[in-house]
Structures are given as C-alpha cells and as structure tokens.
Amino acid sequence: MGDGWTLTSVAARTGRLIGLRGRWATPYSAAHAAGRAQRGGDGGDTVFARAYARRLARASAADAKALATAVAEVGEDSAVAVRAAASGAPVAAVAALAASWGRLPASARAVIRNPAGSGMGALRLGGVRARQVDPTTCGAASMAIMLMMGDPLVAAWVMTGRTFGDHLPPEVLDVVLAEVGVRTIEERWHGLQHVLHRRTTRGGLGIAPWPRALGTPPWRVDDETRFAGVRFRGAILDDTDEHAVAAAIAHASAALRDGIPVPLYTGGDSSGGLSDVVPRHVVLLVGRTSHGFAVYEPGTGRVLPLAESRLYGRGPKEPAYGAWSRACWLILPQRRRES
C-alpha cells in the first residue's frame, strides 16, 4: 500500500502548522455535527421541511393554501411536493406536479421519489444506467443526482421530458437551449451532465475557464450546487489525521440525516505517481448504513457501501471511490449562522 502522500493531506497539514484549520474540523464544530447526526429522523425536521415551513410563513394566504393543497394531493408521496416547494419552484409548478402525479408512469414516480434509489446496486433512471457520460463528468454526474434529489421538477423532466406550470428549472433551461436532442431519458441525463460540467468549469480559474479535461474543480461545486437554498463549503481532508476524519464523518452524517447528500472527491497518492496526488474522481454520499455510507459511484452507475473505517488513511483501491484509494475533499452544507 506504500507510504504515499496526497496534495490535500499536505495542504491540510501545512495549514495546521501555520494556525489555519477549517472551521468544520474544530472540536466544537465536530461535536455539534455529531449531535445533529444523532437526532431522530422522522422526516419532520429536514432541510426540506424547514425550507417549506419558511416558505409557508412568507407566502400570501392564497399561495400558502395552494402549497398545502399540493402537498395533500400527492398523499403518501407528500415529501415530493415538499421538496418541490423547498426548491423555490413557483407555486403553479408545484401544484401542476401534484395534480399530474398519479398519471405519471410508475417508473418515473419511483425515480422522482428517490433519485438515488432505495438500496445498493445499479442505479437506473428508467431503463438508463446512471453513469457519467465521459471520463471528465464524474463531478457533473454526481451533481446531477444531487440536483434531482433536491428538485423533483428536474427529476421529472429527466424522466418524462415534461415541465410543470410552464416552469423550467435553470439547469433544464440551459439544457434545452444548448442541447440538440432531449427526446429520451438518456439524452436528457447526458445533457444535464454537460450543462453542469460547463457551469463548474466556467470561471474555474477566476477569470479563466478550468480545462474541462481535468474534470470538476471542487471550489466550483460549492458555488454551483443548488439544493433547497443551502450554501456549501469545501472541506480539504487530511485522511491521515484521525480527528479530521472523525469530523468529516460527523458532518457528512449530519448532512445526510438532514436530507443533504455529500459530494466526496477521491484520488490516489504519490506511490502511484505525481498525477495521482490530486483529487481525481467525485462520488456522492447518498445515505447512511449501519457501518458507514451508501455511495453513488458515477463511473459504474452503482450505489455501493463504504465503511466508515475506510475513510481513515491508506488502503487498497476502493470500489466506492471509483477504484481510487484515498479520500481528499468534501463539499459540506454551510450552517446558516456561518453564512
């Protein structure tokens, strides 16, 4: 397994030596996150429920009634309408989705309900395997699944090609304007990846674009991720620092308990050559398991298990890391009072 180093581990250690440490990794922040991760999860206290409650509180009486009616109309799938409202979609779009819900194909409803699936194994969008479209779009594919988890109207468009209440989510509008064909699920899925890849690489070097062949720069994922009004921050990880890894696990667990998936960058280390020391791949933590996490891996289009213990330091190539061996960088939600 060697004694290789990673660029992110070196950067994090250097920061600690000069007194710089990410706020997320402080003992207080880690302990607070661990406490939030342990709260009961009955669906009544998630990022979606809170965003929906805030929206109702600000809405006019007519809009509040229309939103409540839409949530009631989808019955057992009321969480879909709550997520749609939490995404910031117009009231008419939320109402139109709810009114059409029972007429949508069962395969479409299943994906809209839970874009990351309900267990381990191949992740399919209808008959389409949810793989990255090319070697550079692992980040875009992970962001696309995250976007669909946060905005049911995007998921509904991918699965059916339909829009609701004349509402085009901004990413869908970009696909429609940019892509030649969006007639099939596969074309829409690929188009969404292309648009997200362009968004994250544009301005990736300040005024200059990031070379698309190098994938998705982590600091652009912070800016371009749209999820229930949440702001995000990057967390550079030294996976040889037990305290930092424990903090990362606590924050990721708290985010998932809140309904927020977590992008994770993976790579190799210097034992494989200098090209491996930088983040090379992006996967998405989509759920907790009894021993760790459920991870969407876009290279294979599968949801795979990842043991908590695997996040600590060196190890063999890990399927849930996309066949890389080291964890490098997380994209974490930023708490409101830190905004």
Look at residue 276 in the predicted model and tell me its pLDDT. 83
Quick one: CA torsion of 55, 332, 193, 198, rounded to 10 degrees? 100
pLDDT at position 282, please?
Answer: 95
Distance CA 88, CA 97 (A): 14
Compute the distance between CA of residue 240 and CA of residue 15 in angstroms, rounded to an integer. 14
pLDDT for the residue 75: 92
pLDDT for residue 38:
86
Residue 81: closest CA among 71, 73, 69, 89 = 71
In 3D space, the residue among 120, 42, 51 whose CA is nearest the CA of residue 286 turns out to be: 120
DSSP designation for 335: P
pLDDT at 339: 40
Count of alpha carbons within 13 angstroms of residue 238, beta-carbon side: 17
Confidence at residue 215, expressed as pLDDT on a 0 to 100 scale: 64
Q: Looking at residue 147, what is its pLDDT?
A: 97
User: What per-residue confidence (pLDDT) applies to 84?
Assistant: 97
Map residue 81 onto helix, strand or coil: helix
Query: How high is the pLDDT of residue 209?
Result: 55
Retrieve residue 231's tokens.
């702001």
Cα 234 to Cα 284: distance, rounded to the nearest angstrom: 14
Q: Would you state the pLDDT for residue 261?
A: 97
> Which segments in the chain show pLDDT lower than 70?
1-2, 17-21, 40-43, 179-180, 203-215, 335-339
Rg (CA), the chain: 20
Per-residue pLDDT, 25: 86
pLDDT of residue 40: 60
The pLDDT assigned to 338 comes to 44
Residues 235, 330: contact at Cβ < 8 Å? yes
